[in-house]
Amino acid sequence: MKIRTGDTVIVIAGKDKGKTGTVLRVLKTQARLIVTGINMRTKHVKKTHQQAGQKLVFEASLHASNVMILDPKTKKASRIGYKVTEKGKKRVALRSGEEVVKVKAPKAAKKDTTVETAKDKQKKKVTAEKNEQNELTAENKQPFWKKMKFGSAAIEAAEVDEGSRMTQDQTIPNEVKHVRSGSRGS
């Protein structure tokens, strides 16, 4: 296939005939191209528990035979040929003989077609408030035991008896082992 990513092409057949765009992706095995703003499709995604329903608008692929390269000089559709020079093989538009310059392909723009619902706005507001609270508490960070006035200073202030208040014995008693006699398997 002579058309590459980054080339400016013109559609010569189909519903978008006459429109121009830049090639985003080339699918060589299928002889198809994805061109910016050409052959737009809409996919409806059903709502789920985690996500709201939405419409996705994207570019579908075109067959390579339905597009031609745009001649850089005359701005008309042209076939592509090759010219061998001292520097190597060059791609040339056959209509004018002008060299087709290699351009980096633009990144596919992610189109946000989702509508922001009231729930989404509320969630954003709540998360913003939580972030503000976290920033405020980060400044006044103290260990938990100091906030609750635990520790040696609090014990000294309370003048607590150092002796144990337990009167009952909490040790584990000796276990009595039962031996089965006359049972099968022992």
d(CA 121, CA 114) in angstroms, rounded, equals: 13
d(CA 62, CA 39) in angstroms, rounded, equals: 7
pTM to 2 decimals? 0.54
Task: List the structure tokens of 34.
Answer: 């994805």
Q: What domains can be seen in the chain, in order of their start residue?
A: 8-113 (2.30.30.30), 119-158 (no CATH)
pLDDT tens digits for 124-149? 888 888 777 776 665 566 666 666 66
d(CA 92, CA 78) in angstroms, rounded, equals: 10
d(CA 12, CA 114) in angstroms, rounded, equals: 32
**Cβ neighbours around 66 below 10 Å, total:** 18
* Greater model confidence, 182 or 85: 85
pLDDT at 127: 84
Q: Which residue has the tokens 């121009």?
A: 20
pLDDT at 112 over 60: no
Q: Are 86 and 92 in contact (CB under 8 A)?
A: no
Main-chain phi, psi angles of 93, to 5 degrees = -80, 125
Q: Are 3 and 58 in contact (CB under 8 A)?
A: no
pLDDT at 11 over 90: yes
d(CA 149, CA 170) in angstroms, rounded, equals: 29
d(CA 157, CA 146) in angstroms, rounded, equals: 14
